Structures are given as structure tokens and as C-alpha cells.
Structure 1
Amino acid sequence: MQKVVLSLLALLYFSVVNVYSQCSSCDYTITVSGTNSTSHSSSSDGYKICITGSGTYTGSISLWNSNDAVCIGENIDFQGSIGANDASTITNYGDMSLGWFSSSATFINEGTITSSGFTVGSSGSLTNRGTITSTSSFTVNSSATLINEGTVTASTSFTIGSNATVTNDGSITSGFTSSFTIGSSAILTNNGSMDMGNTSLYSGSTIDNYGTFSSHDFTSSGDFNNYNTDGNAIYIDGNVNFYSNSTFDTDGGVEITGNVTASGGDFTSTYTGDDALIIGGNLEMTNNNTDINLSGDAEIGGNLSVTGGFMTLNGGGVIVEGQLYINTNASNAVISGAGSSGGSCEGISYGSISITHSNTLTDLDVCNSSDPDATTSDETFDASVTTCNCSSLLPVEFIGYTTTADYENELVKVSWTTSSETNSAYFEIEKSTDGYNFYKLGEVSAMGDSQNIVYYGFNDTNPTYGKAYYRIKQIDIDGTYAYTDVMVQHYENKVAGAEMYATVSEGTLELSFNKNVGEGTLELFSVGGQIVFQQNIEVDNYTYSLQPDKSLASGIYIVKFNNIENNWVKKVKVD
């Protein structure tokens, strides 16, 4: 018992030391109680100003000497202003409400920042371990550095200037239609998650992705290297343009919902899974400097048009739902494989075909999926090309598949229709909340063999508030399988304008809401940023009570609750 008491006392001691050491060794201290508008300027090199206490600060701080610093305590609501040169340091543990902010100083954020525009100035640096929200733009200027271990959100644009360096170990998000620009010679390393708007990589820029990356439209003259080997590593919900000198190398799967235009550059996928590359629209290759290399299977929902460039299938196959069109002056193969496979359809299947030279396709299996019997008469193929029966590649032909929100019955309906089935065993319905990690909801038996239209349905009786992703996995009798495209379904959580209230009474944390918010993640932090409690919870009847395993020490705590579309943050005091 004595050891336990001593350990608790030691923990309390270090917690207290940590709180007070946040803003220590101060040359001038502004103590806030209620509201304080005291302004102060540094008076010599190495001068440190500390803002401590508890309350709202509305004054101004000026740091114009060498190695000056300001420290903002954890209980401070900072609504003032800071002027700092590039030799200064700003450290924030509290809540900062800024207008448009730009600085080349060294900025360390351990708390919360909200601004109407945030810029890390040229050659400046920002280390973020807390939360930064910009209601407009977020910019890392030329030669500046951003290290993000927390959360950064920008509404209208996120810009990385030339020669800048960004390392993301946390979460970075920009608006769906916002711009995400990476300047020449800039380097972005993503180890966390990034959900961006319209992405533009300039020549010489580099993205090294080890985490998850999603984007709206994607345009590149730079280098994109994906080292995440997951089948859902990259998701682009829009159109893609590759230009000369660009490279896109991926060890994981890539899904693009729109059209892809390759007017130059190299695309190489070493992922050997079934869905190495999914393109919802058309793929157009328009320049002889374009090279596409695939080790896994690809599916193109529209047309594959080649008027320049080359595609090599290193053991993978390509399903072209529309027309395969090749019209080039190339004297050698435009699309080539690793050798025909005797009818297993591991080359290219297409809805229709038009090619100008017989030798533009070599060492491939080919199949007309609209009329397999017509494959041999479609075109005059090279001697190395083998025609095959598409049924081995396409065991099920889908007419359509969709999801629908049913608010009356509080569920999401997943529906699909097939026009023919061959050796089909069953369907699995899968769901994801992030578009990357899917799990099985249930399964539905298939007809097996059918040439008639069959209607199927499945109900998700536990819909996710906000955005959820669904897909159907069709499994053949021999165990082979294929996926439909991902379907996105919004299920309104009816929480527009919802407010969270948080109190602590006799050691119990009480949350209450004025509207139904459903499931989410509850997090409780100490003022020093340490996680005290984290758990997925369901708010029932607008309230939730938490009795921590260990009593909460006296002090200020940060309560965060997040669901799919919303997040709430409150401070609570434990006496």
C-alpha cells in the first residue's frame, strides 16, 4: 500500500511539475483572471513573456529581438495579437482565436488554434500536437517546415510552397472542392491520414505516402510514391491528369472514381491484388512518353483510348467495360502482357474494340465481354494473342447496384441486380466508415447459374450517421471473387445545431445533448495533452455518463466527442 501511495504521489508531482513547467523561466508574466488586456513588448535578446492564470487575454505581444519567446498557458483563451520576427518562438498550450495569421517564427502548438487564415512564413516552422482549424486557407510558405502530430483542417485551400517540407503523423483535411497545391521541390511525407480537395503537384515536388491518402481531382507533374500496401491505400474521388515527367508508383491499391488522362509520365503498380487499379470513368493515354505498368488486375468503367504511350501487364489483367480503342503510329506493341494463358482471360476484356495495327496488342488473352463468340472476328490480332471465353473472368454480370437511406425504418438498403450468373456461390456485403477499411456486414446466397434477371437486397439495420461506404463482394464456387465499385451513402444524423454540455459531479462526467447524436468517440484529455480516457460510445436518450476507473485529480480537463460529421470540445473543471 505504501508503494502505491508513493507512486500516486510521484505521478501527481510530475503532473503538477509538467503543468507549471509549460510556461517557466519567464522574464515577464501576465497573470490572467477573468479578462486581461495588458500588452507587452520584449526589451532584450532572449526575452520571454508568459501568459498564465485562467481567463481571456485580449492584449498584444511584440517579439522583435533575437531569440524572444512567448508562452500561452493551458487555461488561457487568447483573443489578442502577436507580432514576432523569424528569430522568435511562440508556444501555445491554451485556446487561441486568431484572425488571419502569418509568421516565420518557430511556432509550437500543444493546444487549440482557430484562425481565418494561417500561414507558416518563409523559412519558419510549425510543430502541431494539438488542433488547428483555418476557416479559409492554410499555407506553408517556401522553405518552411510543418510537423503535424495532431489535427489540421483548412476550409478553402492548403498550400505547400516550393522547397517546403511537411511531415504528417496525424490528420490533415481540406474541403472537398478546395485546392491542395504542392510547389516545386517541396516534399510531403504522410504517415497519418490526409483527406484533401483538388490536388496539384508541381514539377519536382514529391509525396511519399505511408498512411492513407484521399483527394478530389488529382493533377500531377511531380512524383507520388505510395508505400502503403493496403488494397485501399489511395482513393481519388474525381478526375486525374498525369503530365510529362510525372511519376506515380504504388505498392497498394488505387481507386479513381472519374476519368484519367495521361499525357505523359509513368504509372507503376506493384500491387498484385484483384483491384490494383479501379477507374470509374475513361482512361486516355495521349502521349508516347506515357508508360503504365500493372502487376495486378485493373478495371476501367468506361473506355480505354490509346493514341500514345505504352501499357505493360506484368501478370495482371484489365477489364474495359466500354471500348478498347488504339490508334497510334507505333511500330511496336502498345499493350503487351507476359504471355497468353490458354483461355483464362488474364489479359484484356472489352465491350467493343477498334485497333489500327494488329501488332499493337501482343502476348495477351483478349475477350469481347459483350459477345464472347465474336472475339475471334472483332479484329485481326497478332499471333501471340489468344482469344478466350469471358465467363471465367466475369462469373456475374451486374445490371446495377445501389444504396438507399430508409429513415422510416432506420436502415440503409443495399440493392443489386444481375443479368446472368455462372458458378456464382454467394455475395458478401461490406461496409466502411473511412472508404479504406471494410468489414463484412452479412451475406446473401446467389442463384449459382442463371441467364435471367435476378434482384437481390440486404438491409443495414445499424446505419452510420453521416457518410458510409458500401461494396458487394461476389464469390464464385471455386473461391475466386470480385468487387463492385464502392457506393457512398449519406445517412443524416439530424444533429444540425446540436450542442454538447459537459459537467463533472462527484467524480462522474456527465454529457448531455439537445439532439440525438448517436455513436461516436469520447476522449478526455488533461491540460497537458495526456489522454485520460478514450472509447467509442453510444449516446442514449441524449445523455451519457462516465465513471472513470480512477478518480480524476483536481484541475481542468478537455472533453472531445466526435461522430462522423461533427465534433464537440468542452472544458470541465474537477474540484
Structure 2
Amino acid sequence: MKKHLKYFFSALLIIVMSQITKAQDVNIILDFTNRKVSADGLSWTFDLEAKGDVGYAGPNNNNWKAYNIRLDLDIPDGVEILGGTGVADPNFTTGSLGVQNVVLGSPPLGQKALGLTLSRGNQTDLNTSTFVKLATYTINFSGPVNQGDPATPRPNAIASGSSWTNGANDPASGNPLGLRRPFLMAQSFALPVTLVSFDAAKEGNAINLAWSTAEETNSNRFDVQRSANGKVWSTIQTVAANGESHSKVEYAAVDNDPFEGNNLYRLHMIDKDGTSAYSRIRTVKFEGVATYMYPNPVSEELTIKAADWNKVAQVEIVGSNGKKVYHSSGKPSANINVRSLLNGVYLVRLTNTNGSETTYKIVVNN
């Protein structure tokens, strides 16, 4: 299984800009934070933050102008990078932002290339104590990506690599676009969680969920989420992560109150720095709350049989005109007198304690 895309930038990038006519280097550190993979795997979003390293002094009167970051992505075969968007933070960036899916230079075999650009006006310069957010980028894909395949910056200042520029008319270069400076990349890219497996299976009146990881760095927790339709999700349990591990770790959770019918499950994997991604969805069909009702047709008393009547919170009977003719909640009765009902077709609606509903059709024939 490929490594989690939600972890594509956990290491810092160190930008070292060596001015030709100056003995002092200008160092800027970039960090990619709040990295999130969408639930459908079709996009990921991250913030780009920066601060000056020790001894930092902004070029050209403390006003650096632009950068271009080239990335090589390891994504599934057949999936293409469609491009993306960038939103600038007005305190530090008011220039244009761009995402390019066609860049100079060939990526390594089997990988795809991506470019991020940003330009600045005369905004506040960086400081050396805290990171500040420059922009938020969203990258879109033609198909689902895995929870993570790493993206690797190209750490050089040639045409096919990443570069940084200072202000216009840089006296060191005589270039109105400024002096191009190289990126130097940190040596390691930590992969907070490598999900090996995720399974869900029915056992009695519950559904057991189990998953395992092969490697964890800085991981915080797993939110176990459930849905009846794949659109509305709720967290039914939170499991603390190991945090740091280089060997296989097993996890488990139990859903003791599943929906009647289909239950969809996924893991929302969250790191300590806010990075997050979702697992693939697992589906389990559960039939065990309402079993059957008899007799049908019924003339006097309807009896409802359930595997666990304590999970039935409400019983309603609705006529063919949509009008409710019977209601019982709290501790509803499993035996219903129907002698007062007119002959015809009715719907019996059971509401379970977990909020799910099941509807049955009966015929009253007095």
C-alpha cells in the first residue's frame, strides 16, 4: 500500500539564498501545515508557512518578492494532477498565486510534476521567532489518491527546480526579476501513519472494527465515523493513537448500536499538527433490530417481534394518505390493537435508539 498522502510534507524545507556580492546568507524556513486529504481522495489542501532563520535579514530592504516550488508526486497510476487554487494571506501576500500541472523538467519515472508559485508586493516581512501563513493551496486530482504518497520538492535553483527571488533590480544580479536562490531540503520526511488494513464485521448484535498501522509519527487519534447513506457522517468513537512507532500496531473499536440496514464506516486519521486524512469506506449490512410482525393481514392485534426490543424507541402507524393513526414512544408496546383502524394498507415505522428508521407494510382487514 502506498504511503499516506496526508503526510506528504511533514518535514521542513530550508531555503538558503546566497547573495553573490554579500558574505551573509539569507535563510528562510518553509513549513507545510494543516495538510488534509478530502474524504473522496480527489483533492488535498495545505497551508504554506514561513519564518526567517537565525540571522535572517530580508533581501532588497526586507522585501522578498516571489518563489516557485517544484514538486514530484508519487500518485496512483492513471490519476492526473488537474491543477488547483491558492488563497493568499493578506498580511504577508497580496500578489498572485498559481498551481501548475505542467512544469519544466521531467519528474522521476512513475511520478507526476506540480508547481506552486507566489508573488508579493510590499507586505510585512518575515520574522525569526514564529511561522506566519503565506497562503493556502488546494490541489485537485482526476481520480482518488491513496491516503498518502509523498511529494518531494526539487531542491535546486535551475530552470527545472525550485527557486526564490528577491526584489526587482537586484544590484547583485542586474536582473529585474531579482536574484534566483536555491532550496535546500531537509533530509527526512516523516510519515505519521501508514495504514495497513481496516476491516468491519458483524458479530451478534454489534459490529467489530479493526485496523492496523505499520508506522506512526506524531499521530494523535482515530475518529471512527459511521453513516447510513455515505453523505452524513458522525463520530461514534475516538481511539487514541500510539503516536510514535516503527512496527505494526493493532487497533479496535465496537459499534454496539448499529443502524438497521447498511452501516458505512471510515477512519478519520488526525495528527497532532492538524494533518488529517480518511481511510477507505467499509460497509456492513445489519439486520437484527426488527425481525418481523404478524399476523399480516391483521384484524385485531398486531405483534412486533424484535431481536432486541430495548433498541426500539418509537412505533408509528401511518395511513395511505400520510396521516399518523398510531404513535407510541419511550417504552413502546410490541402489541398494537388495530380494531379501530379502517380497512386498507398502512405503514408501520420503527425508530431505533440510534436514530435509524425501518418501515414495514401491513394490511388491516377487520
| TM-score interval for Structure 1 and Structure 2 normalised by the shorter chain | 0.3 to 0.5
